[in-house]
Structure 1
């Protein structure tokens, strides 16, 4: 029999041990990752065996009325045993609008469909050179400045989550005024998202401006730190809905699809999340 409980402080090593098995924490600082955000601003559940050993975990984040299912991971030896169904039933038990990014595993997509979610769009994880893309001028902004735009494009308000993310090492928030984009530089990579705008063009401009600004900042840091061997971000990563105008733009610029999920939502949420003018964060939605 599987036990399900809200993850407490003492459970986090077990949760992270499962996450590490799936390679989910490689780009996050030790002990400061998206699991903390799920626990603080949504729900993080741990599934255990009768002896207390971890079998899997699941997590959600809230954006206003929208519940974003961020994680549902079950260890291979416990898959197809009902652990995932039990976790999902608890995570999605409310009647609020719901979204998720489904992997290519058909079992997961079928499970989500049984909970009322439908596949609406591919979500392309695009990667390419951080330098070389032209973007408009951007300025640094506070998360408070962009919270309203984020709520409009992403489907709901999450000011506390944005403030939490802005405090993570390497994160900078940029804005053009009509668009915004968060950028996090870690090692040789810069991850763009969330990003959004008043129009699709505003979203694209902010994301491209953030890539260019991050590349410039990394190059300056690398030059200043060359004596100590400091590196600079050379690769950019962006999660782009298939219908977003940035998808062909980046493909033409030589970016490649490193992975792909499916954006799934119920009938209410699909009208709230404006995927033509929103770029989610791969882990935070």
Structure 2
């Protein structure tokens, strides 16, 4: 694949990967777009599209041939996500990828309260073990998702107590990823924590949504038992219920409250607030 682009991006049909691809395309960068379904890939100048299903290591190895710097957007939530991540990382190493930029989660650790943050930590460790140069973007909870967490009755529910979260805009995560991909050597071996400009309690988040949307939104601090029960109306496997509820218990434990200046350090611009995210939608 001589002469082909050496910069690869996964998740291009989603919010983060798609935004990164557009940002780099606007700069005239040649790209390899790596969606699961090539038919859904954005049409961008100087971009080639190759299929990449994280669970299919052989396919990914072929599609990654010639790619030197790679954005790995974490895969869709599933019981097998960690296995699929490992398969993709192994394929990247076998294909000769030199630097992998991975969208992880704030506070990723083997004992993190948020269950999926444990999988993110395990993914980070596998990237290191594969011998790849890396940059980890540990994102806080996405500000873009918060409004969708409000029930039809205008209530935001969860066992978050008075804990706060420094929620981050997906647009800021994308801008950070694009900047790192343009100069990977400057960010090699670095783990960034990407947050918004302030940490907000769930009650404060409800207030911001209410003020911007002009409708009453309140927060109800559920017990853990109430949280599991209220989510049973959506059929899901046990690991999914645990992930949903532990999002809130991690906030209660203070694991998302740290406000970082990494977004501004990487991009040179102040991160968006929740209010700004809502107004931009």
- TM above 0.5: no
TM-score by length of 2: 0.30
TM-score by length of 1: 0.30
Higher relative contact order (CA 8 A, sep 6+): 1
Which one has a larger percent helix, Structure 1 or Structure 2? Answer: 2
Which one has a larger percent strand, Structure 1 or Structure 2? Answer: 1
